[in-house]
Amino acid sequence: MRIAVVGTGYVGLVTGTCFAETGHTVVCLDVDARKIETLRAGGIPIYEPGLEELVRRNVKERRLTFTTSYAEAIGGAEVAFIAVGTPPGENGEADLQYVLSAAEDIGRHLTRPCVVVDKSTVPVGSAEKVAEALGRVAQHPFDVVSNPEFLKEGAAIEDFMRPDRVVVGVASDRGRAVMAELYAPFVRAEQPVLFMDLRSAELTKYAANAMLATRISFMNEMAALCERLGADVDQVRRGIGSDRRIGHPFLFPGVGFGGSCFPKDVRAVMTMARHVGLDFDLLRSVERVNERQKRWLVEKATKHFGSLAGKTIAVWGLAFKPKTDDMREAPAISVVEGLLGAGARVRAHDPVAAEVAVRLFDGRGVVLADEPYAAAEGADALMLVTEWNEFRQPDLARLKTLLRQPVLLDGRNVWDAAKVRAAGFTYYGVGRNVS
């Protein structure tokens, strides 16, 4: 098939590239000319493991091209994916202006019947609005489909190629048939394509992220209880995770969740609920716990030192999670701002997010080190914020010589508390106050 993808962020670029990898002809469009120039030159504007190689291979095979022209992208397209941003508005609801603008531009440039697919995370009822926008300008028949994405940054290629499930909201037989054909190569191992109505598909994305965020905040509350009662949250986590009804994923306490999905989608669900007269108190608590958890590291350090004024604090990890350079709503932002607000100096290192951090902390006095031990040199304490693999087994003897004071604050509970304490460090973990 000939496929157009509008938007070349995480979702759009991964979607277009993976469809090209299975033999389709894909044109990716973006209104950002610099981004398109970067892609045409062989560069990747985002950090996603494995993506650069796939893009280059499919560009070389002429299955994948990039453009800023709707006429070039949409002309002849059998399927058009909308994968543009839906930033939260002032009231927490997703802003549809970019989605609806893309829909109108797609409609104006249709040259044949086309299935238009909402890939962006959009509120319930958005498919009807997209259909209205298309209907005002389109001169050819179209079908609107909702196909929410469930890609994890850092594992997006694997998630697309080997999905747990594919959710597709349809209102026509043609839309269903086209989407079944498109996804057939990715579900040969019996992973299901779940066809449902449009509104249910739209809500499924929000429901999934809200549930995962709830599990994280639940464990952070349990970690706080463990600290008060003298229990070890890691042992509690193993105990409940072994229950098949619960399972282990997303039961790891830490300094909170961030990124482009969980915070935004939790707020969006609360907003949608409020519009229909429902107070979603559970998610209000999830959000409140998450914001509190982001302050945990600074509060622990303040309690330890009495005052952070004049102290130098090393921070390992700035991205909201490993294997990405994404710092949108990253806990590290709250940590760094909290440290600076308390009068501390900050030396930080992240394997890939340094360029993003430079823009975020420009003029704030944050020193970004090229490697982790350079960040730790001369610091009064070291905070682990993002659990990159290279931080999991630190050279404790080396750290002992570099740090001015042997204080480690583990915001992700990845270090062996007994081992660290035996090496002569004062150690703080989330909900792990057992000596």
Token pair of 69 as six digits: 């022209």
Q: What does the CA dihedral 194, 197, 202, 204 come to, rounded to 10 degrees?
A: -50
Q: How far apart are CA 139 and CA 104, in angstroms?
A: 12
SS (H, E, C) 232-249: EHHHHHHHHHCCCCCCCC
Of the candidates 54, 46, 56, 43, the residue with the CA atom closest to the CA atom of residue 21: 54
DSSP, res 192: P
Neighbouring C-beta atoms of residue 155, cutoff 10 Å: 15
DSSP, res 433: -
- Exposed/middle/buried for residue 8 (C-beta within 10 Å: 0-12, 13-18, 19+): buried
Q: What are φ and ψ of residue 220, in 5° steps? A: -70, -35
Q: How far apart are CA 121 and CA 86, in angstroms?
A: 7
Q: What is the DSSP string of 202-235?
A: HHHHHHHHHHHHHHHHHHHHHHHHHHHHT-BHHH
Q: How far apart are CA 332 and CA 388, in angstroms?
A: 13
Token pair of 396 as six digits: 């404790």
Q: How far apart are CA 250 and CA 5, in angstroms?
A: 31
Q: What is the DSSP string of 93-131?
A: PBP-HHHHHHHHHHHHH--S-EEEEE-S---TTHHHHHH
| Candidates 28, 114, 226, 261; catalytic one | 261
The residue ranges of DSSP E strands in 250-405, in sequence order, are 312-316, 345-349, 367-368, 381-384
Active site residue 28: no
Q: How far apart are CA 4 and CA 80, in angstroms?
A: 5
Angstrom CA distances, 189 to 39, 155, 163, 332, 341, stand at 32, 19, 10, 39, 52
Q: What is the DSSP string of 132-173?
A: HHHHHH-SS-EEEEE----PPTTSHHHHHHS-S-EEEE-SSH
- Annotated catalytic residues are 261
